[in-house]
A and B are shown apart, each in its own frame.
Chain A
């Protein structure tokens, strides 16, 4: 069974830092791009960022709202994904989901998010 299990969510003060982790099992982690998506309380989904695979040199992309503050990394030996969040703001309060991307078998440039974790809650408040 494919599983993505997030951890590390907590209450943190504005300006603080937090590191989220996502433990992956049930599929070949190294074959997939991975993402973080967040959802503020009572709001919709917001893409946070992605990290590609080794073939694409583990390059990353970020939403404008977090660029320069958040960093995504992965550890293939531990089947884990990470999100380092610095300079946290009140508006970063959300549930953070770890998400797997899969490449379309018939359209090589097209990827979609097909497996989601249950999420971990980050609250930024003084």
Chain B
């Protein structure tokens, strides 16, 4: 089965840039999504189809995907961005495969 690997945690200072990676075999050949989940809340789609932002998602969230790695970048990180972030991609056997999640801490 297809697997996506994320770092368990990322720390960032307010106003700085946070980069969260998601690795998978030839991930760049598939589309990647990113979800934000705050404690006690349901996930929120922040990036789909590698780099598209849903309506209402701030411009500081951006995505890229190439080779074996997809990246979610949060520019000018704010305290409200502190959350768990999950990547997701398609697989032929399982439509939706999720990464293990990355906890972003804004110090």
Binding site for B on A (CB under 8 A): 35, 37, 44-47, 50, 61, 63-64, 97, 104, 107, 110-114, 116-119
Contact = CB atoms under 8 A, between A and B. Distances in A.
Q: Summarize B's interface: helix, strand, loop or mixed.
A: loop
Contacts of A117: 42
Contacts of B90: 110
Nearest to A110: B31
B49 A110 contact: yes
9 contacts: A45-B101, A46-B98, A50-B96, A63-B94, A107-B31, A110-B90, A111-B95, A112-B48, A113-B35
Interface of B: 1, 31, 33, 35, 37, 41-45, 48-49, 54, 86, 88, 90, 93-101
Nearest to B1: A64
Contact of A113 (B31, B96, B100, B101): B96
B42 A97 contact: yes
Contact of A47 (B37, B49, B54, B97): B97
A112 B49 contact: yes
A45 B88 CA distance: 10
